[in-house]
Structure 1
Amino acid sequence: MQCPRCNWQNPAAHTVCFSCNSPLPVKSAAPPAQRARTGNAPVFPGIWPRLGATAIDALFMLAAIAVLCLAASYTYQGLTGENRPLVLMAAAGLLGWLLPAFMDAWGNGSPGKRLLKLRVVTRKGSAPGLLRAIWRHNLKFTLNVALPGIFHHLQQTIFGERAMHNALAGTHVISSQADPRAVLPALAQARTVTGAGKFLFVLFGVAALVLAGVVIGVVGLDKDEGDNPLRSEVIHLDQVSDPVRRLAESHYQRTRTFAPDMAALGVTQASLQASGFSKLDVNPVNGVLRFTIAGEPGTADAPTLGGKHLVYLPELRSEKKGGGIRRWQCGSDDIPRADRPYSCRHEAGALAR
């Protein structure tokens, strides 16, 4: 502090000047109104300010996604004169989706939190890093929005008012108007997730992943299987060729070599034709089975599978696990992918020859 009499620079703790022993002016305390604005708010806000901040952030995200997608589209079309690629629109939409997370990590908080005087911190009271903020943001706006109602009550039972996305990301939402001296003690005393809570979360998480996998498998991967007659025929031929593959597995298990031809497998031409095939080529080097489908070749107006091929490539099990053929990769070198089911999408290529 500078002495008003002799201009000597004194340490802030001094009350008299070191040079001339004159009394130093005492710095006045902040006005009561200012102290009230910066220190009386609770450290942890209630549910309504946090819900309000979430709603504002959701509106901000929707606007950001729309603006960024339009800007990317118009810019690309203006520079190239071509229609914008789908990957560019996806990147612009992803950037808009993650904007609140970027602001939580690098700025003073997302728009909703800044308007309602909130901020996201770690247990040490510092701002979350980018990866932590993105992880928290995705958890919050996927599960909480996609699974409202009973999920909200379930996560309150396990994680309390802190909510699941904060507990799993290691973050807390606090008031930016709280007394800074009260923040760290409050964070240290905050409720943590119990062992039972973690077990329940893992249990429900695994169940959700299994359910999602079933839905994707039933709805997404095999969608419109029955609408394509050629695909349905490939599924049928894949099933009737299974006994031949089992014979090939048995031969390899006995001899540790691949069969040289179909006669070594015990397959006759009559049984092959009865299954809908006209020929079977066996590669003794790599064990590939190449079935030629019986029937006349199709035309552009009336496509058929006649003369085309189903190819099966064996995958071997390690000797530590008993050896043998573990499974077969189904594919084709001349049937379009659109005419094959998802389980038969292997590109046979040169191995089919």
Structure 2
Amino acid sequence: MYRKSIAVLFVVSALGGLTLWNSSDYILVTTYVAKGGAGTVPIDVFSRNLLLAPSIQGYQERLSAELYINSRPVNFTVKVDNEGNEYPYVGEIAYTGFINVTLVQRVRVYAVHSRSYFGVPASSSWPATRAGSLPRNSFWRCNTSAVGLRDLRSISNRLAANASGPVDFAYKVARWALSEAKYEESYGGISCPSAFLKEKKGACGDFSAFIAALLKIQGLNAYLVYSLVEDQGAYLNVSTARSSFLIKGAYPHVFTVLEVDGYRVPIDATANVGGDPIRGAVALNRDGVVILYKVVNSDPNDYLILYAPGNDAQVYYSIVVKRNQGTIDAGFGWSILGVAVAIVLVLGKRLDASDDRE
């Protein structure tokens, strides 16, 4: 019986069944509901709250995407924001009293042993020009009453001076953050790098933004990646009087990516195997990590806001992740429950990351 099972498996694999073992398909159902008042649905609902999971060669493929408005399928145009993220758009939508916008996506994610998108070079070299700068008047350059951009530069320069190259520098930055700051769950948004340095505590998004900022100061190409880590037992619900955010079947997680010498190197201070923030990063070691978007220069909090069509509206937002096709899971003995990214529940206007900016 055992030998027969092996033979059947071999035949299935030869006929294309390898997909079963090399990848898993996930159904992502994102639902945005507004009740009360009247107005026009902001474009931010589509470009920030209803993002399309990208097709990334060597990591994942978006197989399909369907958009429904009040349960009726609608055609949409794929647009791209200034960070390169895709979203569906159907034009201006008038709203009176109630609207339900639902995005259903099917995403194929390659198993760990089949991925080629992320990697770590054996060695890496500094770019010819290392004088980096953070976007002016931005989240990345915010100041607090006690800590500002000068402090970030001081730490970045000191760690870079003793690093053999960008990847070694990334290790030093991540380990410095882990040694100096404490992990703490938060539901108030991602702290700007100076605020994180002042408080010395935060969730995965806070650690990741701080790490990215110190890399950027050295002229390196670093950015944030927002992902969903599939776990069918996961359930996160954050509510206020006028809004509700629910995610089921996955935990949200943010990590940093450094692009150097043709490699994309994940840096993960809060979800890693064996305490290694690079080679142990979740994107390198765990199946079922679905990437939704990246943030290079923008305020990452813009993507965490729930936008309302009017001041009288209540907004209900949910993401449900279901595994549609199984694969062999890495089965690491650590939990990702503690790395849930902070969720901002703000209606209407854009939230500034800091009241005191350069």
TM-score, L = length of structure 1: 0.21
In our comparison, the structure showing a higher alpha carbon Rg is 1
Higher relative contact order by CA 8 Å / sep ≥ 6: 1 or 2? Answer: 2
TM-score, L = length of structure 2: 0.20
